[in-house]
Chains A and B, each alone.
Chain A
Amino acid sequence: MKKADWILIGSILFVAGVLAAFLYFVPKNGSAVTVEINGKTVDRLPLSEDTTKAYADENGGTNLLVIENGKARITEANCPDKICVHHRAISRSGESIICLPHKLVVTVINEKETDGVDARAG
């Protein structure tokens, strides 16, 4: 075996190792959220960046979405039931917060993986 062979083997091992570290040890949280209003996807935000954004439906209903530390939650809304505001912060692929009065759904998606949850019972 020549020196070139060892270099080749070394670089393959290196690439495999880096890939493995990246794929297997990065936590499987969702990577982004989608925001749907009345069934239409209106926004898509990465969970990795802290953001605050307000959404309004055509009837003046507003929800304030806050993304912080990789989790998304609704901090303010002018809906009557406030279920969306009381909902825990979401970060796992497939989780969602629904504001029924404003027909707003925030869903955590994982852009890399499609093996999250396809539907929710309950």
Chain B
Amino acid sequence: MKQSKAKTAALYGLLIALSFTLSYLEHLLPLPVGIPGVKLGLANLVVVTALYLLGAKKAFPVAVVRILLAGLAFGNAFSLLYSLAGGMLSFFVMLLCRRTKLSPVGVSVAGGVSHNVGQIAVAAAVMRTARIVYYLPVLLGAGLGTGLLIGLIAAPVIRRLKKGNINLHIL
């Protein structure tokens, strides 16, 4: 059905604000692991949910704008670049995985892992060193853990939003 521009704008605003808030929360409570690039990726919760409920076309701008905003607000040019690379790869991997037999949990895991792979690939290119691959096993594990957590939260959210009486047609 055709949506009004105001509704679309409100929807994007809502989702971006939500993911930005989650980014902020994460910025306030960093994981004390001492490895660059390891974070919970709470904002991915919004992206995974949006991907399932709204489709790729609407979830994509949410993902990109969230990364740009959070990067500009909490990071520097380099961390922004890493997040963008990770975020984009993660988004497209999740897009592909959604078409497979994977449940939202699996999709989120694939997203979490590919986010870290994307980050590390760009970091290796920017720093022109292959040495950074030493972080890769750790980041794979971390991406798996955080992706799993996000997926386990996202799955019931998606299920309830789909089944429940929430007025989804505005979406």
Chain A residue contacts of B134, Cβ below 8 A: 23-24
Other A-B pairs beyond A1-B106, A5-B102, A12-B109, 12, CB < 8 Å: A1-B155, A2-B102, A2-B106, A8-B102, A9-B144, A13-B144, A16-B136, A16-B144, A19-B136, A23-B137, A24-B137, A113-B131
A8's contact among B110, B130, B136, B138, by CB below 8 Å, is which?
Answer: B110
Give chain A residues whose Cβ lies under 8 Å from the Cβ of B130. Answer: 112-114
Give A26 Cβ to nearest chain B Cβ, in Å. 11
Within 8 A of A (CB), among B33-58: none
> Total A-B pairs in contact (CB under 8 Å)?
60
Point out the residues of chain A lying under 8 angstroms from B101, CB to CB.
Answer: 2-4
- Interface residues, chain B, CB within 8 Å of chain A? 100-103, 105-106, 109-110, 113, 129-131, 133-134, 136-138, 140-141, 143-144, 148, 155
Which residue of chain B is the closest to A15 with respect to CB atoms?
Answer: B140
Contact at A9–B102, with CB atoms within 8 Å? no
Tell me the complex Cα distance, A1–B152, Å. 9
B113 CB contact (under 8 Å) in A5, A12, A114: A12
- What residues on A are CB-neighbors of B105 within 8 Å? 1, 5
Q: How many angstroms from the CA of A9 to the CA of B140 in the assembled complex?
A: 11
Chain A residue nearest to B152 (CB atoms) is: A1
